[in-house]
Amino acid sequence: MTSTASTRKTLVIGAGSWGTALAATASLNSDTLLWCRHSEQADIINKTHYNPRYLSDCLLPDTLRATHRLDEAVTHLSQSPEQSLIILGVPVAGMVETCTQWFQLLQAHNLSHIPIVWTCKGFAQDSAQLPHEIVQTHSQFPHIGVLSGPSFAREVVQQLPVALTIASHSQHTLDTTTQILHSHFCRIYQSDDVIGVEVGGALKNIIAIACGIADGLSLGHNARAALITRGLAEITRLGTAMGGIPTTFAGLTGLGDLVLTATGDLSRNRQVGLAIAQGKTLNEILASGMTAEGVRSARDTLKRAQSLHIEMPITEAICQVLFENMPARIAVQQLLTREAKQEIL
């Protein structure tokens, strides 16, 4: 790590797969601290350079440190607040608690001006809010952004090539995130379309479940291509209705993320679809420990779309399969037998 990089400070909150992967990446260009909820996890990471709970077979950089102490996290950021970055590696379900707790803590130490970016994807249950709406509702961070793109955490830890997008209305957030994460294997693009990036990330998970179902039913490559294409049409319709920029959905956080999640075997959402096609119930899938943001946010995505009078046939079919006990094969048949019409994006 160069002397310039050592003056930059990164705090990653949440030691799950993606938080761990981004902490490892950030440690190449900055002095990085990974905050863990459990002290045992932090201790093992520091001693062995392996995360015992997530990506447990992936060696982490020697320079990456972990802690479970809030005071140590604050001290870390205080050393260079103008060159610091905070990354939230928590799911949508944990955003309210995380934003509330950390904003109060950072505000008390005059550190709430540090850029904070999140990686979670989906609409919040009950409120149907996107992550940026949650952040704005429950905190007053002035420099915020979303980091997204086609990426599996395991491949990022292994330093395989990846391209990500940071979206923010704050140039300070864009520049700081780029300086800390851009590296020989990680290319960072900048955008100001926060809504478009978040909608793309949220809806691709639902389409990936549909593709998993189709593949699990051995419906062929043609069916998968149709679902991806028409799924992108649903993403674009809702995203533009909410204020997203149309071209965003043809980029990394739209088409790119959709293709990866719908076809990659490391995709948890795709695995949920495959399990459903095998006859497993949603309760059985969740009881096995498999979690996917597409399951959590499907109903709220549909609710948001209906409030805007946006037609979302694939999303609606997935909700029927997940929550109304509709057989997967019947749902696919109904999609295919819908009235013929002109193709509209």
**Tokens matching residue 17:** 């797969």
- The β-bridge relationship of strands 162-167 and 144-148 is antiparallel
DSSP 253: I
**Alpha carbon distance 68, 49 (integer Å):** 16
Among 296, 133, 305, 288, smallest CA distance to 234 is for: 305
**For residue 104, what is the DSSP state?**
H
Residue carrying the six token digits 């904070």: 116
Which residue numbers belong to the known binding site for substrate?
121, 268-269
Binding site per annotation, positions for sn-glycerol 3-phosphate: 121, 149, 151, 204, 257, 267-269
Query: In what side-by-side order are the strands of the sheet with 9-13?
Result: 65-67, 31-35, 9-13, 84-88, 116-118, 144-148, 162-167, 186-191
162's tokens: 């990846």
Report the Cα 189 to chain-centroid distance in Å: 16
Q: How buried is residue 68: exposed, middle or buried, by Cβ count under 10 Å (0-12/13-18/19+)? A: middle
Phi, psi dihedrals of residue 84, rounded to the nearest 5°: -100, 160
Catalytically active residues are 204
